[in-house]
Chain A
Amino acid sequence: MDDFELIEVANGFEALRILPREKVDLVLTDINMPDINGLELVSFVRNNPLYKDTPLIIISTEGSKRDREKGLALGANAYLVKPFRPEELQQLVAELLN
């Protein structure tokens, strides 16, 4: 479980930049971000032939149930509601990668 390499980016733009440069096995994203929101990122990933199969987890706040559902409809594999325990994330990542 420990040999993950984590690439942290600060916003949607950086994510767009990094996706073609790195082999990303899984994307974790928040929904409310400036410039490009999480849903837009999900749509981008799912509509791009290069990474359309990359597993995607949405992290959202308790209040944004609707956004979460939209994310799943757009093709996100799972979501986590803040606050969550690290083990929940670990388990979800393990499920999606294996």
Chain B
Amino acid sequence: MSDQAIDDFLAESEELLDKLNQDLAELGDGAASGQVNPDLLNGIFRDAHSIKGLSGMFGFDDVAELSHHLENLLDHLRMGKVDLSEDLLTCLFDTLAGVAGLIRGKADDPEFTQDVSAYLSRIEQLLTSSPDASDYPFSELNIDPALLDVLTEYEEHRLHENLKQGKYLYLIKVAFSLMTFDTELVDLTEMLKGCGEVISTLPGVDNDNPEMLTFQILCGADVKTAELKSLLNFENLAIDVVFGCAGAGAEESEPEPKTFPVAASKFDGEQSLRASSSAEVPAPIIEKTVADLKLQGEPRKLTEAGAGNDDGSARSFTSTVRVDISKLDYLMTIVGELALAKGLIAQLCNEVLTAGLPVARDLEKAVHALERRLNDLQAGVMDVRMVPVRQLFDKMNRIIRRMAQELGKKVKLNIQGGDTELDKLIVEDLADPLMHIIRNALDHGIEPPSERLKIGKPESGTISLIASQKGNHVVIEVRDDGKGIDPEVLRTKGIEMGLISADMHLNRQDLFGLLFHPGFSTREEVSEYSGRGVGMDVVKSNISALSGMIDMSSEVGKGTVMSLTLPITLAIIKALVVRVKGIDYAIPLNSVLETLMLEPGMLQTIEGREVMELRQQTLSLLRIDRLFSLQGREDTGNQFVVVVGFADKRMGIVVDELRGQQDVVIKSLGKALDFVKGIAGAADLGNQKTILVLDVSDLMGEILQREGGLGV
């Protein structure tokens, strides 16, 4: 099998797995509140079926076998042959994880396989426990037996379910033009789904008018006949009551005669007018497609706009193209280099302008036009890299479920701002740190159910994942409503470990900072999940590697909030180029708040540190020349302060000269120079000059540490 084929398999199955995970989580939430959406369950069943088909097609028999059993379990579930218990849900999640594990293994080695018998026997066990299967006799229903004949086993089950739940059952008879029936039927079905469930849709022909199709829709609903009637604003529609419990349906309205309003009678003038006018509406794309395709010898595939609900088809349901991220990186690099080339041209243009050449004006216009288009291009490529954080949040859902079960805790996950977008690469690298934070929240934060009840909290704890965009950054918060962290406990532990001395003056934030110290742990015993004392320092360094920052706050008894502040993208940034002692540096513009001229008298020295007053706040100053031990001539001219901020921290960087703004593509310095503090990487300015890019969050940590705090 070619690598490409395997890549296609991996990409497609990953998409399916992601969707399955997401849908299973939704199913679990629904089950918890006693509401199982049959459409959702059906979708899950079909996706499991797709994975089976896909893996079979690629000859991955182990994946196919496991997903076959998964599908089988789901089939039993949707048919009501097994109940949706917590055990079963966990088994579904675990089996899915097993499928994912096999597929991931194939990514490295197509020959990879694993023993799946444990999963199979677990499924087998669940299949043997059958629920109460007392079915309603359909004979009591006011319904044409011919209609019952076309119900699939699944639809029969849904009919039973609706009866069991005491729903009203209706048969809706409606006629639509052949030209427009699908959209009209979808509209009608959607309306019905709003107040109940569509069990089956039987199409028929109108013998008097071949341009019309009739439909008998069997549905269960919570609403009474009169209400249903007012909801369904369609012509040519009649409603029969098939089953109305406690006579409520019958009280309110007489069951209507079982005739098709259109089919049985001749059209009146208006109806035929309507029918013929709709017949003139050109049929959408489909006719054309058929005509076009007739010329081809290959199997014809009919496509139709809006036919979203397909099944049993190998067609993909989205118009998405999957692209390897490295290709996007390459594009981004090219865009970056184009931006540099444009910078050069703009510079030349200035020279031409100064020289007063006649073409100068036109050249300037052309440069501006180029710049605009280039900005569009850059924004476009950037946009392609963006993915909603929901993908990441949904993965966390599974982890939380499994952990909560093993720790004997009850927890709900609350997701907000899932549509917030971040660079795909950042999202990927965020998975591990986020997982760690969540594990900590579950293990240390959320109390066991009995303890929660005792202190008057709801039995289930809540972990919230909240994403929001703030300017050029995305803030992701992990909140728990657990027991919180007592800074004084951290102080005691810190002193015990020799990290701080007893007489050090530390505020709350400083004490929380201890948590991010390598090896710091307050937990006596070590669980599988956390408490090994490795963790938060790793989390912090992972987040720093993404040019991000981590912050926390906590209140004893109420819970803890960890907030991660991350740049939207790492690929290309606008930078402020500054000069210190004759050397240029770039400062990412997204962390620059303002620049000011350093005037005599602004500088103050407190405890040997340089600070300045800025709008009633004390701002610590950092001198790069001192930090990097730059020799070089003393600049006698004016100096400037670049005020940078990250999360809620501020500091000023003293520089000799502000050189201007520029787009830069940051390149890593490589592993060998990894230890260098305060440098995020190097960038090419386009004029054969390479400059270093300052790592603001790193420098910020540096200065805070120097101030005696531990710098979160």
User: Residues of A with Cβ closer than 8 Å to B?
Assistant: 5-14, 16-18, 20-22, 30-44, 47-50, 63-64, 66-67, 70, 73-74, 83
A39, B152: Cβ atoms under 8 Å? Answer: yes
Contact A37 B200 (CB under 8 A): yes
Interface size bracket, B side = 35 or more
> Which residues on B sit within 8 Å (CB–CB) of A34?
42, 309-311
Assess whether B152 is in contact with A8, with CB atoms less than 8 Å apart: no
The 8 Å CB contact of A17, one of B56, B204, B286, B310, is B286
State the 6 A-B residue pairs at the shortest beta-carbon distance, nearest first: A10-B310, A6-B299, A39-B150, A30-B312, A13-B182, A10-B313
Set of chain A residues within 8 Å of B593, measured between Cβ atoms: none
B149: chain A residues at CB < 8 Å are 39, 43, 70, 73-74
User: Which one of A40, A47, A63, A74 has the greatest number of beta carbons of chain B within 10 Å?
Assistant: A40
Is A14's CB under 8 angstroms from B153's CB?
Answer: no
| Complex-state Cα separation, A40 to B312, whole angstroms | 16
Give Cα A12–Cα B151 distance, bound, in whole angstroms: 15
- Interface-centre pick from A13, A16, A18, A43 (highest chain B CB count, 10 A): A13
Chain A residues lying within 8 Å of B640, measured Cβ to Cβ, are none
What are 15 pairs between A and B in contact, CB < 8 Å?
A13-B182, A14-B286, A16-B178, A22-B290, A32-B311, A32-B312, A34-B309, A38-B152, A39-B149, A40-B200, A40-B202, A42-B150, A43-B146, A43-B150, A70-B149
On chain A, the residues within 8 Å of B301 by CB distance are: 8
Q: How far is the CA of A39 from the CA of B153 in the complex (A)?
A: 11
Inter-chain CA distance A16–B185, complex, in Å, is 12
- Verify A40–B302 contact, CB threshold 8 A: no
Query: Whole-angstrom distance between the alpha carbons of A51 and B75 in the complex?
Result: 33
Selected from A12, A36, A67, the residue in CB contact (under 8 A) with B153 is A67
B189 contacts chain A at the CB level, 8 A cutoff: yes
Given contacts A34-B310, A63-B75, 20 further A-B contacts (CB under 8 A): A5-B299, A6-B300, A8-B300, A9-B302, A10-B302, A10-B311, A12-B203, A21-B287, A33-B312, A34-B311, A35-B189, A40-B150, A40-B201, A43-B146, A43-B202, A43-B204, A50-B205, A67-B152, A70-B150, A83-B56
Within 8 A of A (CB), among B291-328: 299-302, 304, 307, 309-313, 315
Give Cα distance in the complex from A47 to B206, angstroms.
11
Q: How far is B150's CA from A52's CA once the two chains are assembled, in angstroms?
A: 16
Beyond A6-B300, A36-B201, A48-B205, whether A31 also contacts B210 by CB under 8 A is no
Q: Is the CB of B189 within 8 A of A37?
A: no
Residues of B within 8 A of A14 (CB): 286, 302, 304, 307
Interface centre among B151, B153, B200 (most CB of A within 10 A): B153
Which B177-205 residues sit within 8 Å CB-CB of chain A? 178, 181-182, 185, 189, 200-205
A50 to B210: give the CA distance in the assembly, Å: 10
Within 8 A of A (CB), among B55-95: 56, 72, 75
A35 touches B152 (CB 8 A): no
Quick one: closest A residue to B72, CB to CB? Answer: A63
Q: Is there contact, CB below 8 Å, between B299 and A8?
A: yes
Contact B185 A13 (CB under 8 A): yes
Q: Which residues from chain A contact B287 at a C-beta distance below 8 Å? A: 21
- CB contacts (< 8 Å) of A21 on chain B: these are 287, 290
Q: Which residues of B contact A (CB under 8 A)?
A: 42, 56, 72, 75, 146, 149-155, 178, 181-182, 185, 189, 200-205, 207, 210, 213, 286-287, 290, 299-302, 304, 307, 309-313, 315
By a CB distance below 8 angstroms, the chain B residues around A35 are: 185, 189, 201, 309
| Contact assessment for A64 and B302 in the assembled complex, using a CB-CB cutoff below 8 Å | no
Shortest CB-to-CB span from A7 to chain B, Å, is: 5
- Structural contact, A20 and B210, CB atoms closer than 8 A: yes
Q: Is the CB of B310 within 8 A of A18?
A: no
Give the shortest distance, in Å, between B557 (CB) and chain A (any CB). 50
Question: What is the minimal beta-carbon distance from A8 to any residue of chain B, in angstroms?
Answer: 5
Indicate if the CB atoms of B213 and A10 lie closer than 8 Å: no
Give the shortest distance, in Å, between B19 (CB) and chain A (any CB).
Answer: 16
When C-beta atoms are compared, the residue in chain A nearest to B293 turns out to be: A7
A30, closest chain B residue (CB): B312
Q: Name, among A38, A48, A73, the residue most crowded by chain B CB atoms within 10 Å (CB to CB).
A: A48
With contact pairs A64-B152, A66-B153 given, residues A11 and B309 touching in the complex (Cβ less than 8 Å) = yes
B303 to A: closest C-beta gap in Å: 8
The answer on a CB contact under 8 Å between A20 and B302 is no
Does B307 lie within 8 Å of A10, measured CB to CB? yes
- Docked pose: A51 CA to B556 CA in angstroms: 75
Residues on the A chain within 8 Å of B151, using CB = 39
Q: Report how far A25 CA is from B331 CA in the complex, Å.
A: 51
- Residue in B153, B181, B311 whose beta carbon sits within 8 Å of that of A16 in the complex: B181
Contacts A35-B189, A40-B202 known; A13 to B307 CB distance under 8 Å? yes
What separation, in Å, do the CA atoms of A40 and B205 have in the docked complex?
A: 12
Q: Please name all residues of chain A whose beta carbon is closer than 8 Å to the beta carbon of B315 when the two chains form the complex.
A: 10
Q: Is B300 in contact with A32, judged by CB distance below 8 angstroms?
A: no
Residues of chain B within 8 A of A16, CB atoms compared: 178, 181-182, 203, 213
Closest partner residue, chain B, to A6 (CB atom): B299
Contact between B311 and A33, CB atoms less than 8 A apart:
yes
Which B residues are in CB contact (< 8 Å) with A48?
A: 204-205
Q: Which of B200, B287, B302 has the most CB of A within 10 A?
A: B302
Q: Closest residue of chain A to B299, judged by CB?
A: A6
Across the interface, name the chain A residue whose C-beta is closest to B317.
A10
Q: Is the CB of A40 within 8 A of B300?
A: no
Question: A12: which B residues are within 8 A, CB to CB?
Answer: 203
Residues of B within 8 A of A41 (CB): 203
Measured between beta carbons, the chain A residues less than 8 angstroms from B302 are 7-10, 14, 18
A61 nearest CB across to chain B (Å): 8
Q: Is the CB of A32 within 8 A of B152?
A: yes
Q: Closest Cβ of chain A: how far from B348's Cβ, in Å?
A: 57
From B75, B204, B299, A47 is in contact (CB under 8 Å) with: B204
- Measured between beta carbons, the chain A residues less than 8 angstroms from B72 are 63
Most chain A CB within 10 A, of B56, B287, B307, is at B307
Listed residue (A31, A32, A37) with the most chain B CB atoms within 10 angstroms of its CB: A32
User: Which residues of chain B are within 8 angstroms of A6 by Cβ–Cβ distance?
Assistant: 299-300
List chain B residues, Cβ under 8 A from A66: 153
Residue of A nearest to B182 (CB): A13
